Structure 1
Amino acid sequence: MREWLEINKQLLPDLMELLKKRYAILHEIMMSDVIGRRTLASSLQMTERVLRAETDLLKAQGLIETETAGMRISEQGRKLLRQMEPLMREILGMRHLEEAIQQKFGLKQVIVIPGDSEQSPVVKQELGRAACDVLNREMRHDDVIAVTGGSTLAAVAEQMTGSTSHKGNWFVPARGGLGESLEYQANTIASKMAKQFGAQYRLLHVPDLLSEEAYQSLRYEPNIRDILGLIRQARIILHGIGDALVMARRRHMDAAVIEQIQQGGALAEAFGYYFDREGKVVHKMLTLGLRLEDISRTEVVIAVAGGKSKADAIMAVLEFGHEDILIIDEAAAAAIVQACGLDEPKSRLEQ
């Protein structure tokens, strides 16, 4: 396929650009469900005149349908997008980014979603869809799946649908999280994912950050110990990755602790642990949930993150060395590849 693509890029460069444009239009319409022409033009940074000509052609081909509220992709259009996806990943340079990161960090699989989730909510939705596909593939009967909180994992939960009922599976929060916004709490996300998959769930009703006294008291409480036992049986962990200082401030940590985290060179936060550039833990939150030893022996660890600003944080967690599958967007992937000196060929976002 790659040899064929290189020949076409040289002989028919205009055709390749046209293919990219029409794929982007169809993909944006599909992810938006229903969208007006003006909104679509703005999202794709395209003039309404150019977009009108393209959408008229796509409608004539039966790939999109129009209604009062806007444009919607047809079933034929959905089928075509699914068929085009492997080809478009090559054309858009996603395969190169995936292979470079996979080899650099020794991962089982890397999935790169075109675009920048910090700029487009559609890209974050696609991250969620990809994570759902991976989870459907990796889950076995009676698995326990531990999930963290955060906006990216909330987006994953929004996209989840189980292909079959998973009544024997359990979704649990990776740790406490009552200090976060309700929609971003691990409890909320675990329960929503379980309902979407037709699975069961247990919740951990403890704060995200505990005092020493509260920690010692709660860890021996029978119900808490029971839930922690289930959490530590997780065969799959699905988690996000946060910028260290952003997460520390969001949790309203003491100024002295934030300074300690900063002086320690922390770049990333995941599971309540703060990691430096080499993947070493420089600070640990006093929280109930998964411990490093639990993570290290978990069979499948899946990270989902996006945005160019997250590149350093993602690399720090990858250096920690216990990830198996990474799902990121193009902006983050391109920044990682460039930082690692693997930036040939360039991604679309750098061209």
Structure 2
Amino acid sequence: MNKIEISDTLLFKFFLGETTNDETDRIAAWLDANPEEHQKYMDEVHEKFIISIMTEPDSVPEADTNLWYRITHSRTIRQTVGIAASLLLVIGGCYLFFTSQLTQMVGNPTTIESPAGQHVRLTLHDGTTVELNSKSKISYPALFIGKERRVRLEGEAMFEVAHDASQPFIVETYACDVEVLGTHFNVIADKNTQEFSTALFEGSVAVRNKINDEEILMEPNTIVNLKNGHLHLSELESRDNYLWTDGIISFSGDNFEQIVDKLRRYFDVDIEIQRTRLPDVRYKRLKIRTSEGLDHILRILQRSSDFTYEYNDLENKIIIK
């Protein structure tokens, strides 16, 4: 019988659950040929594999107080590593069980939702940074395993994706999927209001419509909107609407109804308009820091619009008159 040679690269691929049936059979035959020696070697290679995916808490700078970064890069991975290490005591065909358990553990998603009136910044395992706008939610695995890096978004988020041509990054939403290799872009996906848009600042992305499979390849400084079930591409005239990552809310060019919608979404407050005619807004460009609070923003708007308001504390409602 010919001697079976197994490379470290193939074992790494096996630990990730990416080997073909033929490759898995080769590894099983290699283990059966010399269980004691090959088991020991496989354990050594697995230690290298674990080190390659593990980030210890001590490696995170003290200045980085991002709770989500520590959760993603410490607790989840270390739990996965502990389970994987205990399963390494078995040999031969039982490694298939280990691989499936490892894949399941790292595939279980972590979900983060940003509080009303705030935005949350997090760093994924691959180095991609995500900023979640108010009342937005993202789900992602502790480790990206397989041929793609997939996250699911509800709401609005700004992404700076770490480049990896061999593993495209996909933002899944209720309406469309946004696929990128490495870029800077913003996605809005609000199922309640049936709003979807993608604004691209750097790089290139492909937006695929789940309804009819139409696809648009975007270039920098363009925006795609979903209207009546179809994607529409246009030039991005201004980046004012994406200043929320800097704590700034922009109402440039918005009518009163659009302003109210933004305030509802950002501050998670019910706003009721008790008048037949909407107030005119005379501001052409208006940017306000959200840290000033909702009452301050409404008082600024009153300077250019004819309306009064009152706040119902029991119902958390603002009434526009």
TM-score, normalisation: structure 2: 0.28
Report 1 or 2 for greater relative contact order, CA contacts < 8 Å, sequence distance ≥ 6: 1
TM-score, normalisation: structure 1: 0.27
Higher Rg: 2
